[in-house]
A = this chain, B = another copy of it.
Amino acid sequence: MELLLLSNGKTDEHPGLLGWARERVQALLARHHVERILLIPYAVIRGDWDQRAADLAESLGVQVQSIHHAADPVAAVQQAQAIFVSGGNTWRLNQQLHELGLVVPIARAVRERGVPYVGWSAGCNVATPSIRTTNDMPVCSAAVLPALGLFPLQINPHYLDASISGHMGETRDERLAEFCAINPSETVLALREASLVQVSDDRIDYWSVRGQSYKLFRHGEATTEHNDVTPLAALTPFMPA
């Protein structure tokens, strides 16, 4: 299995979509001899899907087919050399994956054929067991919480400690503590901006372009911060390919 799960797609200091992780993404594509990637842009509600595909192609120097041009989206997934899932609204993305019947085809492509899966923000959320740790507004009338489950832990992307002065709503830490209180057997991996987890076969890696740590949330325990992947690896046993 090849997973690259990124907190976010853009940063202020690195130009281009996935620019902050470009070398890592390109190395992954080269290792798998990927000539064309399949983009799943359904999370993008207000932007242009073709523009998103063009941005990705330009940033990575690779051919990009957006799935919305495929006559048969399921066949497009079955033939994909690599699957890239864009950020945007997690609810809309997950709804579309289910409605278009893409959940099982994506899972089979990634698990059985070893097709690389690269997802950022909402595309990172849907790679986990459910979208219960999204930051997004549930804008759709019908909600589906279970997601692809490619990665075994809930991830909270765009994680940040800061809060806005004067805002009386819950902080992110409070929201994640609520998640753990309701789901006491689960662990949440909080990924700060410009950080990622990568799974290659049975090996997991953590990387932050800014050298920042990741954070683990568990019910009844203090949160912990790590740069070393070892504590995360202990929570994510992967079967060898």
- A235 close to B (CB within 8 Å): no
In the complex, per-residue mask of A156-189: 1 if CB is within 8 Å of any chain B CB, else 0: 0110101111111110001111110111000000
Contacts of A170 in B (CB 8 A): 89, 136
With A137-B135, A164-B162, A176-B137 as known contacts, state yes or no: A145 contacts B145, CB within 8 Å: no
- Per the bound structure, the CA–CA distance linking A170 and B190 in Å amounts to 17
Q: A89-B178, A167-B160 are in contact. Are A137 and B133 (CB under 8 A)?
A: yes
Main secondary structure of the interface of A (DSSP, over half): loop
A-B contact pairs, 12 of them (CB 8 A): A8-B168, A10-B168, A132-B137, A134-B137, A137-B175, A137-B178, A138-B143, A139-B175, A143-B143, A158-B167, A158-B169, A160-B167
Chain A residues within CB distance 8 Å of chain B: 8-12, 45-46, 88-89, 92, 121, 130-143, 145, 157-158, 160, 162-170, 174-179, 181-183, 193
